[in-house]
Amino acid sequence: MASYSAEDDFDFNPFYHSLQSTIFFVPRHSSKGMCAFKREHICNNFLRLINSEYLTTDKQGSGKVSFGGRNLETKEGFPETRNAEILAEETGYNENSRQFRILLLDKPLLGPVSYLVMQEAERKICIFLKNYMILKGFIEDAAQKLNHIYSETYQAFQSHLRLSILQDHRALSNIALSLESFILHCVHDKVSPVLHNQCDTKNSEIVAKLDEIREIPRDILGLRSVLTECSLKSAVSEAMKLSDGVTPVQKMLCIKSIMDKITESVDAFLLSRQGNTQMDDFCLTSDDYIPLLIVVLAEARPNHLASEIFFIEHFHWSENTKDNLEFSFVSLQASVHYILDLDLQKLRSQMKSNSEDVHLPATPSVAMATAASPPKSRRDKRLDRINRMLDKTNRELSLMKMEIGSTQASNGQTSVRGDPILGDFFSSLQGDNLPSCFGKQS
């Protein structure tokens, strides 16, 4: 509290009332730790003097603080009792030139929520980093160990949360993802080298196939002809950042960004080709994303694609991830499986066959055409068999008509000349010997 000499005129002093009623205190920066200043902290760090008691300035005014000499102690309305030492005092002025006191404390009056829970989690992580050895081929065991730390800490958090937060699925999802990211960020340097070493063979296989896929035309990869000229540079640039993520959520957000860039590139390409009927009727489906994503991966050439997928599959424990992130990750998994199962020899043969078809001369000889023609497919053979059957049927029909004509001539019958308008088939029906009159003209 400030003291004044006898000559001070309190009736006309503009700072008198504020000096007697308002205190604002700020903790040192080094003492904040994991405590983030929000509205709740601000309200609890402004005090006003009412009936010889200092109360917080929140709506309920529920917090009480005792002010004695060089210390502040929290009383009723605070989740825990905290004793803060006053390190220094300053004077401030508001916009109306009114004065207020600023007390610099060694710690916040309102500490972080579940501080003891986080302390226990940090202790377990330190034990894991110092004592746990991760061996090649046993990284799944390390994932289970860290998952156990995550589950215990998350359950401890829930026991300290208010009912309103427990009923808020979005808040619980943010807590789960934050806790998962915190744990994996701490152990990244220990887990990442062993993970890359375990997946090294598969990573090399994927990179080798991507190098070969880059030389294959897009239409042979299964991309629709409408999109063969679409530029995907923005998606390629985003795919190069995949290894920069430290946590599964960061990597999944990067994958989602790759899919978004693909969609934006396709939309921009179609917009630039407006007026083309084929473009106007085009609709991008989920089946188009896999060949598009393969093209992007072939250009970006990520070196640890198998490691990234393994890391997300085994170290992503939160069950509240958004559906769009899951869809993007599943699309990446499907693309990698497609790359590994791809028969590159067959694609090269198809590419060579298409190239020979394009470079054939305009009037080839019969021998050259026979040598250059590819082996007939099952469908072509079936069509040839049907054509031979039709030719044989036509020949038999002609012979049958000749026999009928000769029989009519030997019996002295006069053949009826068909109307040329009806054609051969209906004309022959007019002169048949059948008892029915179908097809005859009266």
pLDDT at 130: 94
State whether residue 69 is helix, strand or coil.
coil
C-alpha count within 13 angstroms, C-beta hemisphere, residue 326: 8
Q: How far apart are CA 347 and CA 361, in angstroms?
A: 24
No. of helices (H) and no. of strands (E), the chain:
17, 7
Burial of 227: CB neighbours in 10 Å, binned 0-12, 13-18, 19+: buried
3-state secondary structure of 91: strand
Low-confidence residues of the chain: pLDDT under 70 = 1-53, 57-62, 79, 110-113, 275-281, 320-323, 354-442
Query: Can you give the pTM of this predicted structure?
Result: 0.60
Q: Are 54 and 66 in contact (CB under 8 A)?
A: yes
Contact (CB, 8 A) for 57 and 48 = yes
Cβ atoms within 10 Å of 442's Cβ, excluding its own: 3
The closest of 246, 285, 244, 281 to 262, measured between CA atoms, is 285
Task: Give the residue from 230, 124, 229, 244 showing the smallest Cα distance to 188.
Answer: 244
What pairs with residue 53 in β-bridges?
50
Spatial distance between the Cα atoms of 203 and 207, rounded to a whole number of angstroms: 6
What's the pLDDT score for residue 356? 55
Q: What pLDDT is recorded for position 159?
A: 84
Count of Cβ atoms closer than 10 Å to residue 105 Cβ: 20
Q: How far apart are CA 253 and CA 26, in angstroms?
A: 37
pLDDT for the residue 418: 44
Long-range contacts of 64-72, Cβ-Cβ distance < 8 Å, separation of 24 or more: 65/109, 67/23, 72/25, 72/103, 72/105, 72/109
Closest CA to 100 of 9, 20, 3, 39: 20
Taking CA atoms, 317 is separated from 153, 156, 327, 357, 372, in Å, by 13, 16, 17, 53, 57
Model pLDDT, residue 111: 65
Classified as helix, coil or strand, 53 is strand
Token readout for 170 is 């979005």
8 Å CB contact between 341 and 333: no
- As given in the structure block, the two tokens for residue 290 are 């896999």
| Mutual angle of helices 248-272 and 286-300, in 10-degree steps | 110
Q: Which pLDDT score, from 0 to 100, does residue 154 have?
A: 92
- Rounded CA-CA distance 154/121 in Å is 10
Rounded Cα–Cα distance for residues 340 and 204 (Å): 11
What sign results for the dihedral spanned by CA atoms 229, 230, 236, 239? negative
**How high is the pLDDT of residue 333?**
92
